[in-house]
Amino acid sequence: MIYFDHAATTPVYPEVFEEMKPFLKDCYANPSSSYEFGQDAKEMMDRARGQIAKTIGAKADEIYFTAGGTEADNQALIGTAEMLQKKGRHIITSMIEHPGVLKTCEYLEKRGFQITYLPVDEEGIVSPEKLEEAIREDTILISVMYANNEIGTLQPIGRIGEIAKKHQILFHTDAVQAYMHEKIDVNEKKLDLLSASGHKFGAPKGVGFLYVKDGIMLPAFVHGGEQEKQRRAGTENVAGIVGMGKASSIGEKNFEKNHKKILKLREYLKEKLLEEFPDCRINGSMEARLDNNINVSFRNLEAASLLLLLDMDGVCVSGGSACHAKNPNPSHVLQAIHVPEEYIRGTIRITLGAENTIGEINYFIRCLKEIILGFL
C-alpha cells in the first residue's frame, strides 16, 4: 500500500505507541485520584501539556485537552459566543473553513448570532483588507483557518492577528492541518485561540488540544467534574494525551528535516503531474501552501472513478476532505475558488508524509497515467 492521504490522518509514530503502552496496561489510574498511582498519571499529562505548549510558544496552563480538532473548534467558537454575547453577536470567518467551524457557525446562527463568511481569491486566500472592512462594533470573534485542508493554501495569519488586536477582537485559528507543517508562534501571530488534532501529526485519533490565551475565561464546554480547570469535564484520555505530547516533541525535533524532504517530494510530484498531464490544473497557491499538499483537477473526469481504480492499484489518495467523503456534491472550497465546471468533479488531493519516497510517486504517476488513458 502507498499512503498519500496524510491530511486525512497520519500513522502513529512507533515511539508514540511505545510511550502510550504503559498507560493502556499498567499505569491505568485515574489522574484525578489523590493517591500516588493516580498522581503519576497526572504528572505525565502535565508533561505532555508542557511539550505541546513549547511547540507554539505558549504556557503549559494555556493548553486544554480535547477529543480532537472539531471539539476544539466548537469550544473556541461556542465558548467565545457565550462569553461575549452581551458585548456583541457578530462573528467573521471564511467560506472555505473546515466543517468543524462552518457547522458550528450555522449552529450559532440558529441561536441569533450573525456570521460574515468572507470570500477568497482564486488561490483560496482571504483578503485582510476585506476582513477589516467586515468588522462591526458588535464583532466579537474572527475565526480563519491557518491552512486549508483541501487545497493547502496558507492564510495571512500574522496580518489578520494584527487587525484583530487593533480592533480588540478575539482571534481563533483552526491549525489542524498546519500544526507541525508550519512554525507557529501564538504570540508572534497574535493568536488568542488555536485548535489542533493529534492524529494529524503522528499521535492517535480521539485526542486534540485547544490553546486559550491566558486571561480568556471561556465557559465550561463539557459539564460535570473539574477536569481541565472546569472547562472540559470527564476523565482524561491519559494514553492519548501522553502520545500526543510525545508526537509534538518528535515533530518539533524533526521539523526542518521533514519539511525539506516533504517539500522536495511535493515539488517532484507537481513537476511529474504537469509533465505527464498537461491538461490538469493545480488548485491553490503554490507560494503560500503547505509543504505536503497537491490538489489537482483533471478535465472531464470523475474523481470517484480515479480513487476506486487507484485503490485497486494500492494507492490511497482522497477526493478532498475526509469529512466530505460521502458527499456527492462538489467541494465548497473548490466552488469558492471558482474551479471550472469541467474540472471540479475530477479533483483529487494528494498529501505526503516524511515516509513517502520518489519511487512511490513514480509508481503513482504510472498508475494514474494508465487509468486516465483507459478513459480516453
Residues 141 and 245 in one domain: yes
Q: Is the dihedral of CA 197, 50, 14, 18 positive or negative?
A: negative
Element (H, E) at 344: helix 341-344
Residues 241 and 337 in one domain: no
Among the options 27, 105, 316, 323, which is catalytic? 323
Residues 309 and 176 in one domain: no
Under a CB-based contact definition with an 8 Å cutoff, are residues 283 and 337 in contact? yes
Q: Structural domain tally of the chain?
A: 2
DSSP β-bridge partners for residue 289: 153
Distance CA 101, CA 74 (A): 7
Residues 124 and 145 in one domain: yes
pLDDT at 322 over 70: no
Please confirm, yes or no, whether 316 is among the known catalytic residues: no
Residues 259 and 280 in one domain: yes
Residues 307 and 270 in one domain: yes
pLDDT at 320 over 80: no
Task: Kindly report, residue by residue over 167-189, the tens digit of the pLDDT.
Answer: 999 999 999 999 999 999 999 99
DSSP β-bridge partners for residue 318: 349
pLDDT band, very low/low/confident/very high, at 375 (cuts 50, 70, 90)? confident
Q: In what order do the strands lie in the sheet with 193-197?
A: 63-66, 208-212, 193-197, 170-174, 139-143, 90-94, 114-118
Q: What is the CATH number of the domain that holds 270?
A: 3.90.1150.10
Task: Kindly report, residue by residue over 55-108, the tens digit of the pLDDT.
Answer: 999 999 999 999 999 999 999 999 999 999 999 999 999 999 999 999 999 999
| Residues 6 or more apart in contact with residue 235 via CB below 8 angstroms | 30, 31, 32, 225, 227
- The DSSP symbol for 135 reads -
Angle, helices 14-25/238-253, rounded to nearest 10 degrees? 160
pLDDT at 323 over 60: no
- In this structure, the strands spanning 193-197 and 170-174 are parallel
Under a CB-based contact definition with an 8 Å cutoff, are residues 239 and 41 in contact? no
- In this structure, the strands spanning 63-66 and 208-212 are antiparallel
Residues 314 and 170 in one domain: no
Distance CA 20, CA 203 (A): 10
Residue 72 in grid coordinates: 476544539
Give the residue numbers spanning the domain of 244. Answer: 14-253
Under a CB-based contact definition with an 8 Å cutoff, are residues 21 and 245 in contact? no
Distance CA 29, CA 335 (A): 49
Residues 183 and 308 in one domain: no
For residue 277, the Cα-to-chain-centroid distance in whole angstroms is: 29
Residues 237 and 311 in one domain: no
Tell me what the mean pLDDT of segment 269-274 comes to.
98
Distance CA 225, CA 337 (A): 45
Residues 57 and 198 in one domain: yes
Mean residue pLDDT of the chain comes to 96
Q: Which of 25-34, 70-79, 289-298 has the lowest mean pLDDT?
A: 25-34
- In this structure, the strands spanning 2-3 and 315-316 are parallel
pLDDT of residue 330: 85
Tell me what the mean pLDDT of segment 266-293 comes to.
97
Decide: helix, strand or coil at residue 117. Answer: strand
Residues 137 and 260 in one domain: no
pLDDT at 325 over 80: no
Residues 311 and 232 in one domain: no
Looking at 210, 228, 253, the residue that finishes a domain is: 253
Task: Kindly report, residue by residue over 209-250, the tens digit of the pLDDT.
Answer: 999 999 999 999 999 999 998 899 999 999 999 999 999 999
- pTM of the full predicted structure? 0.95
Q: What is the CATH number of the domain that holds 160?
A: 3.40.640.10
Distance CA 339, CA 173 (A): 25
Measure the CA angle with vertex 245, ends 242 and 251; round to 5°.
140
Looking at 253, 282, 308, the residue that finishes a domain is: 253
